[in-house]
Structure 1
Amino acid sequence: MDSIENYIEKEFGTVIKVEPIQELWSGYGQIKRLWTDNSRVKSVIVKQISVPEKVAHPKGWNTPLSHQRKMQSYEVESYWYAHYANSSTARLPKFYKRLHQGNSHTIVMEDLDSEGLNLCLSNASIEEMRPCIEWLAKFHAKFLGTTPKGLWPVGSYWHLSTRPDELEKTEEIPTKLTASLIDKSLSKAKYQTIIHGDAKLANFCFSPDRLSVAAVDFQYVGGGCGMKDLAYFVSSCLTSDQCFELEERILSIYFEALKSSLDKQANFDELEREWRQLYPYAWADFYRFLKGWSPEHWKVHEYSRQMALKAQRSVLSELLETATGAAKLAGDIIQTSNKYKLFKKDAPSAASEVVTEIDYKAEKAILRALAECSNHYDFGIITEESQDDGTRFNKDYFWCVDPLDGTLAFTEGRPGHAVSIALVEKGGPPILGVVFDPVRNNLYHATVSGGSFKNGIPFLISKSPKSKVKLYADNSLKNEDNYEELRSTYEIHFGAGAVMNCISCIEDAPAKYIKFPKVSKGGGSIWDFAAASLIVNEAGGSATDYYGAPLDLNRKDSTYLNHRGVLISSV
């Protein structure tokens, strides 16, 4: 502190009083007010950060990652004040000096109290929120299109890449599985700015008349969509009912202020359309963090849940439209192809070694249709007819495609073939599945926790009484030692590919489709079951491995499922 006091005495005058203001979160330092004998600058604020001997996080998140994140946040804040703060047109403390000594950071800045911004609110009406909302708009307008050099690449303290522990703790499956999609939608928006990253009500200092504000605490300042700041600020002020009631008014205040602050050359109408659409995504992004960090938090309420659900449905609907279009394109190629060449490939069974030029044409059409979406979201991909490039292991999601499942049935002119497209989360669960039966022109689809649909109509298993449960199978079943026992127990049906066997189980319940575990390769591949398994599960059936565990749809050492087998059931 001596060197800082020396600086203050040199620049402003003798320090006559030191007043502690507050301890920093988890014991990482403190904020002090230093009084001087200077009549022009009577006091300054000193924020001093030092590594605590023992971290005491109030919710127990004491990990090396949380410590690293906290220390980086202070480095970012220091850089922000030194390189950006004094160019802001939105009011914030003037920057005077920063000092680094090892892991210690000290920032000297303007004392807003002495400038008449000395009021902090614990709650606010919509009119008291207005100057804060307008501050955010002015701030975002100033830094629109600015590259966040030296700051967080993506601002906000809840950013997904910095919160893997909280994501792992999240118990809501749709929230967990769509987290990266929501994050990418925000971070890849056309219009990016610098966001405050922690713009809660407590970080705004008001004038006594509550008409003017300044913002403080820039530890998580960085790049992003302005809606992240707005959603987070609103969450710190309003109850669920108030959020519903005041949503449009809040957005109107923000965008009116943004328009008046923007450069005339900016395409405001386009920006407003994009950011309004992303407002639910911003809520969903913060909701995801809360559900892992503190699921009983007061901000986890009906409005935040509804906004998260809206964003999840929106992003999945967009992807579903892409996958559906791709499946139909492939289906058209399949149905209009009367002449084609037959090929053979290395495969564990006679049925799977057959491939036609139609398989390749259908695959090419699907890949073209998925390309733009894949590039935007940075998806991996695996298809039956192409070499596995390994992207499914290092991307958050990957497309899993079988352009023509049931090729043998197709070549023999029988029903039983289909197009299958799934989007699979890297941990293995499919979050979206599309199956198109080109013979009957039936389109099946499902999204995680969103239900199954047939030709756009909700589809649930309807069981009819039968003397025997149907068992759908391929010819390999005849080689099983217990085949005769199975014949006496089930009404067995052969001839279709794996995908349509799964669909038949839910179309003609009660029924099963079994692939027994075996040592040799085969037993179906991940592209045979990725889409169909989700459709079956969402329709009320069961799609598991033979032992009842979830299917391993991103198997590291193979694309085959022989190691655990497959059991599809609507019994």
Structure 2
Amino acid sequence: MNKDLLAEVAEIAADAGRFAIKLWNTDFRRWEKAPGNPVCAVDLEVDGMLRYRLGELLPDAGWLSEETIDSAARLDADRIWVVDPIDGTRDYLRGRPGWAVSIALVDKGRPVLGVLDAPAREEVWVAEAGNGAFRNGERLRVAARSELAGARVPADQLSKVDHDLVMVAKPNSIALRIAMVAAGEADLLATIRWGNEWDIAAAVLLAGEAGAAVSDAFGRPLAFNTPDAQAFGVLATAPGIHAAAVERLRERAEAAVGGR
């Protein structure tokens, strides 16, 4: 891939981040798309900005974003932008720093370029398939952990069955939580529910390029630009504990799928 493309996408993400942080903690419109699913006017403005700028960069690429009505036309595109204009909207609305602009370029179902711009944390995360992952220019490497007990998990609380895990600070942005695994600041990130591709596409590439094992909740490979743009869970771990994490989650994941 043209290395200039990653730099251009990072600059577009930085512009979006500057715009979002300028409006952060100001009086803007906010509402719920559905109960428990907040959105705000800044989400929509950033989405429009990104769609225009990224569309100019690669006119042939499809588009999938949390804040844009989906179109089946994207399924015919080899390359597609997968975007969450503000991942971690709850933290954005609460004045907390755990949010980021998330941009991924997916080629034939696989993320090949990813950027997270987290201006409130003064962090820029970038990854390119085959060329590693970086935060603020520093190469990332997943932690070397071989025992599930003691694994660090970004969480607000843990169930009794997970009492042997260790909670660490949890940003609202799932992309940033996955990125924590990439940076070796957490050992395990797991969700056991249906989730959207735009939440994870950029961060999954970051984690994989940093050496993490990444899958859905059952340990299966993740695919992107799928018809429903969803996957059942995401599991990003230090490679030495991935199999044990899959096994621990198995019953809960099967119960959750059965209850959909």
TM-score greater than 0.5 by the shorter chain? yes
3-state SS, counterpart of residue 399 of structure 1: strand
Q: Which residue of 2 is the match for residue 321 of structure 1? A: 7
Q: Which residue of 1 is the match for residue 166 of structure 2? A: 491
Contact 1:543 1:567 in 2 (8 A): yes
Q: Which residue of 1 is the match for residue 43 of structure 2? A: 359
Cα distance in structure 2, aligned partners of 1:373 and 1:508: 33
Q: Which residue of 2 is the match for residue 512 of structure 1? A: 188
| CA drift at 1:403 | 0.5
Contact 1:472 1:505 in 2 (8 A): no
3-state SS, counterpart of residue 404 of structure 1: strand
Q: Which residue of 2 is the match for residue 547 of structure 1? A: 218
Aligned amino acid, residue 200 of structure 2: F
Cα distance in structure 2, aligned partners of 1:435 and 1:552: 20
Contact 1:417 1:500 in 2 (8 A): yes
1:408 and 2:76 aligned? no
| CA drift at 1:532 | 0.3
Q: Which residue of 1 is the match for residue 201 of structure 2? A: 530
The change in CA–CA distance for 1:319 and 1:453 in structure 2 (over 3 A counts) is: same
Contact 1:464 1:509 in 2 (8 A): no
Q: TM-score when scaled to structure 2?
A: 0.83
The change in CA–CA distance for 1:440 and 1:554 in structure 2 (over 3 A counts) is: same
For residue 429 of structure 1, the aligned residue among 110, 116, 119 is: 110
Cα distance in structure 1, aligned partners of 2:186 and 2:31: 37
Unaligned runs of 5+ in 2: 242-260
3-state SS, counterpart of residue 524 of structure 1: strand
- Deviations for 1:400-452, whole angstroms, at most 9, x for unmatched residues? 000100000111111211111000013x1111111111112211111111111
Moved over 6 A (4+): 464-467
Cα distance in structure 1, aligned partners of 2:208 and 2:128: 10
Alignment of 1:337-376 (within 5 A): 337=23, 338-346=26-34, 350=36, 353-375=37-59
Aligned amino acid, residue 47 of structure 2: E
Alignment of 1:443-522 (within 5 A): 443-463=124-144, 468-473=150-155, 483-486=159-162, 488-493=163-168, 494-517=170-193
Cα distance in structure 1, aligned partners of 2:172 and 2:144: 21
Report the count of equivalent residues: 235
3-state SS, counterpart of residue 485 of structure 1: helix
1:559 and 2:218 aligned? no
3-state SS, counterpart of residue 468 of structure 1: coil
For residue 393 of structure 1, the aligned residue among 66, 70, 75 is: 75
Cα distance in structure 1, aligned partners of 2:215 and 2:50: 27
Q: Which has the larger radius of gyration?
A: 1
3-state SS, counterpart of residue 327 of structure 1: helix
For residue 332 of structure 1, the aligned residue among 12, 18, 36 is: 18
Aligned amino acid, residue 367 of structure 1: R
Unaligned runs of 5+ in 1: 1-311, 518-522
3-state SS, counterpart of residue 121 of structure 2: coil
Contact 1:342 1:355 in 2 (8 A): yes
Q: Which residue of 2 is the match for residue 32 of structure 1? A: none
Q: Which residue of 2 is the match for residue 440 of structure 1? A: 121
The change in CA–CA distance for 1:491 and 1:369 in structure 2 (over 3 A counts) is: same
3-state SS, counterpart of residue 58 of structure 2: helix
Contact 2:80 2:106 in 1 (8 A): yes
The change in CA–CA distance for 1:495 and 1:452 in structure 2 (over 3 A counts) is: closer
1:417 and 2:104 aligned? no
- Deviations for 1:66-102, whole angstroms, at most 9, x for unmatched residues? xxxxxxxxxxxxxxxxxxxxxxxxxxxxxxxxxxxxx
Contact 1:322 1:370 in 2 (8 A): no
Cα distance in structure 2, aligned partners of 1:326 and 1:425: 19
Cα distance in structure 1, aligned partners of 2:140 and 2:182: 9
Highest RCO, 1 vs 2 (Cα 8 Å, sep ≥ 6): 2
Pairwise CA RMSD: 2.2
Aligned amino acid, residue 76 of structure 2: N
Contact 2:183 2:210 in 1 (8 A): no
Q: TM-score when scaled to structure 1?
A: 0.39
3-state SS, counterpart of residue 439 of structure 1: helix
Larger fraction in helix: 1
Contact 1:464 1:510 in 2 (8 A): no
Question: Which stretch shows the higher mean deviation, 336-345 or 504-513?
Answer: 504-513
The change in CA–CA distance for 1:538 and 1:329 in structure 2 (over 3 A counts) is: same
| CA drift at 1:458 | 2.3
Contact 2:196 2:231 in 1 (8 A): yes
Contact 1:463 1:510 in 2 (8 A): no
